[in-house]
Chains A and B, each alone.
Chain A
Amino acid sequence: MEPAEVEFLAEKELVTIVPNFSLDRIHLIGGDLGPFNPGLPVEVPVWLAINLKQRQKCRLIPPEWMDVGKLEEIRDQERKEDTFTPMPSPYYMELTKLLLNYASDNIPRADEIRTLVKDTWDTRMAKLRLSADSFVRQQEAHAKLDNLTLMEINTTGAFLTQALDHMYKLRTNLQPGEGSHSQDF
Chain B
Amino acid sequence: MAEAYFPVGPGLGMEENFLSLDDILMSQEKLPGRADSALPRLAVLMGQGAGSAESVPEGSKLEIPLWLAKGLNDSKRRIISVELPKIYKEAWRTVFSADANVVDLHKMGPYYYGFGSQLLNFENPENPEIAQTILQAMTLCSLQTFIARFRRIMDSSQNAYNEDTSALVARLDELERALFQVGQKGLNDFQCWEKGQASQITASSLVQNYGKRKLTEVD
Nearest residue (CB) in A for B184 is: A159
Query: How many cross-chain pairs have Cβ atoms below 8 Å apart between A and B?
Result: 101
Residues 140-198 of B at the A interface (beta carbon under 8 Å): 140, 142-143, 146-147, 150-151, 153-155, 157-158, 175, 178-179, 182-183, 185-187, 189-190, 192-194, 196, 198
Which residue of chain B has its CB nearest to the CB of A135? B150
Of B7-15, B26-34, B78-86, the one with at least 4 CB within 8 A of chain A: B7-15
The reply on A7 being an interface residue by CB < 8 A is: yes
Report chain B residues within 8 Å CB of A2.
189, 193, 198
CB distance from B32 to the nearest CB of A (A): 21
* B12 and A180 form a contact (CB under 8 A): no
Q: Is A3 at the interface (CB under 8 A from chain B)?
A: yes
Q: Report A's interface with B, CB cutoff 8 A.
A: 2-4, 7, 97, 101, 125, 129, 132-133, 136-137, 139, 151, 154-159, 162-163, 166-167, 169-174, 176, 179-181, 183
In the assembled complex, the Cα of A166 lies from the Cα of B154 at a distance in Å of 14
Q: Which among B13, B186, B193 is the interface contact of A156 at CB below 8 angstroms?
A: B186
Question: Would you call B208 an interface residue if the criterion is a C-beta within 8 Å of the partner chain's C-beta atoms?
Answer: no
CA distance A163 to B150 in the complex (A): 8
A162 / chain B contacts, CB cutoff of 8 Å: 178-179, 182
A181, B179: Cβ atoms closer than 8 Å: no
| A180 and B13 in contact, given A163-B150, A166-B175 (Cβ under 8 angstroms) | yes
Q: How far is the CB of A38 from chain B (nearest CB, A)?
A: 30
- B residues in contact with A183, CB < 8 Å: 70, 121
The 7 A-B pairs with the shortest beta carbon distances in the complex, nearest first, are A3-B193, A180-B14, A159-B183, A4-B198, A170-B143, A133-B151, A155-B190
B115 at the interface (CB under 8 A from A): no
The listed residue with most A CB atoms (<10 A of its CB), out of B117, B142, B183, is B183
Q: What chain A residues lie within 8 Å of B186 (beta carbons)? A: 154-159
Contact A3–B189 (Cβ < 8 Å):
yes
Min Cβ gap A133→B in Å is 5
A159–B175 touching, CB < 8 Å: no
Q: Give the interface centre of A159, A176, A180 by most chain B CB atoms within 10 Å.
A: A159
B55 at the interface (CB under 8 A from A): no
New A-B pairs, 17, CB < 8 Å, besides A3-B193, A158-B186, A159-B158:
A3-B198, A97-B194, A133-B154, A136-B151, A156-B158, A156-B186, A157-B186, A158-B182, A159-B186, A162-B178, A162-B182, A163-B150, A166-B12, A167-B146, A170-B113, A173-B13, A183-B70
Which chain B residue lies CB-closest to A1? B189
B136 contacts the other chain (Cβ, under 8 Å)?
yes
Q: How far is the CA of A176 from the CA of B136 in the complex (A)?
A: 9
